[in-house]
Structure 1
């Protein structure tokens, strides 16, 4: 429950708040957020670094397609598509893009996509959302080289999959797809 909602309940004013209108307002705000994020991109920087960005984009696309079509159905047993689409958007852009994609497939946010991301984001964002790991990777590459950092990253990824299997968080894809119906 949000702080504003708690205050409204404490003051017995929640009956004056229309949840549907608030949902529409938040949707419009999200649209403005996405437009602002996209319009802040500088085209001269893209032109100057086109080849490097193309190579990175191809690698990112391959890894995200692997994540979306292979990994997500095995990790998310319920509403896997909606949960995966949020992560796809966040990992290829910003959180606003993830939620924009989620709103396309789940306009009323009835699935676990938004709730699950909201629960895990405070724990993962400080590490992977442009903070600790993002800051350490360039230093690690400069110190140890691309190959060593890449191999260590793959080893960590494999360890995470193994831990998910051992903890019972790994599902057969057909089970995940079946739960979508």
Structure 2
């Protein structure tokens, strides 16, 4: 994409985020986003298929990054360690983009149509992660389970990171995966009324 096209795309994303926060997603039109960004509405639709998509740009890049990070993880790692490695690698872009990412999360959380789109995107990315694990010879059943569990753990870490910016995303990812390992190895306590 030419430099001017990338700049217009960035301005559209920033304008959309500002307007969604000021007025709400449903009350904002693509024409208003375009005007705020200093372009016409046709330019908006050259970059984004619809109003929701402006907040979900970069999915293709994330797919490619996740696939590559899983493939390039060191040999001998268990699936969860592979995923931790991959999420730490790809999380650097999210961390670098925190000034946009954090308010974006808030807008999505407050908007049912955006939450629905986010869930669909996450399902698609989970499938990508599962396929990348299969390519590392993780059995199909385990690849799917690891991908779904790993993605949920990643989302937990991202949420913790937005609430506690004092620690980097890497630290939150490590903690979340440590918690996951702890959950899978801890013996549940016996209930007091259980018969022996």
TM-score for the superposition, normalised by structure 1: 0.29
Q: Which has the higher helix share?
A: 1
